[in-house]
Amino acid sequence: MRERTLLYLTTCAVLSVISGNATAYPVPPPPRTGMEIFNPVDREQSVLARCAASRAVMKWSFTKGRVHVRQLRFNATSASAAMLTELDQAAATLKGDIAVRLDCSNEGAALTMIEERSAGSARSRSVRFDYAGGRLLRID
């Protein structure tokens, strides 16, 4: 493909010199392959954060175009159903599947849900939560 494009440009340059228009190069043809677009697939995921004796786990799944938070645990305590519903509602504001950053300390965990988009996108949105003492607090 590269050789054909170079040959095309060289041929056009020679023809433009012969015709007396040396600075007018034609635009090369578009690439033959299409643009790659991110399409999320149904899957279950989890992330584990460990620091000293503390441990935080978050599990979620992406099914039918929607994120469902399955579990959030910090040490021996699990998030209640109401907290999981709040996380689900926050994840629903993000488009497509999510990436999760989970940080922990001895007192609690901080999690950030980031919408996954194609690589290099600077416009991806995120939602932040703090989970400590059995309470969930949205930070945004």
Alpha helices in 44-93 (DSSP H): 81-92
Residues 45-62 pLDDT 10s: 888 888 777 888 889 888
DSSP-based three-state secondary structure for 35: coil
Per-residue confidence at 4, pLDDT binned at 50, 70, 90? low
* Domain identity same for 68 and 131: yes
For residue 25, the enclosing domain spans 1-34
* Domain identity same for 99 and 129: yes
Residues 59-73 pLDDT 10s: 988 887 788 899 988
CA 92: distance to chain centroid? Answer: 15
* Domain identity same for 56 and 27: no
Q: Which helix (H) or strand (E) is 131 found in, with range?
A: strand 126-132
Tell me the mean pLDDT in the region 3-9. Answer: 49
Query: How much is the pLDDT for 85?
Result: 92
Query: How much is the pLDDT for 9?
Result: 46
Q: How many domains does the structure of the chain reveal?
A: 2
Tell me the mean pLDDT in the region 113-120. Answer: 68
Q: Where are the beta strands (DSSP E) in 4-134?
A: 43-51, 54-63, 66-74, 77-78, 98-104, 108-115, 126-132
Residues 56 and 101 sit within 8 Å (Cβ to Cβ) = no
**Residue closest to 103 by CA, chosen among 39, 63, 139, 58:** 58
Query: How much is the pLDDT for 21?
Result: 52
DSSP-assigned beta bridge partners for residue 69: 60
Q: pTM above 0.85?
A: no
* Domain identity same for 101 and 50: yes
* Domain identity same for 22 and 48: no
CA angle 77, 129, 110 (to 5 degrees): 65
Length of the chain: 140
Q: Is the pLDDT of residue 12 over 50?
A: no
Per-residue confidence at 17, pLDDT binned at 50, 70, 90? very low
Which has more confidence, 40 or 130? 130
Q: Taking the CB of residue 42, how many other CB atoms lie within 10 A of it?
A: 10
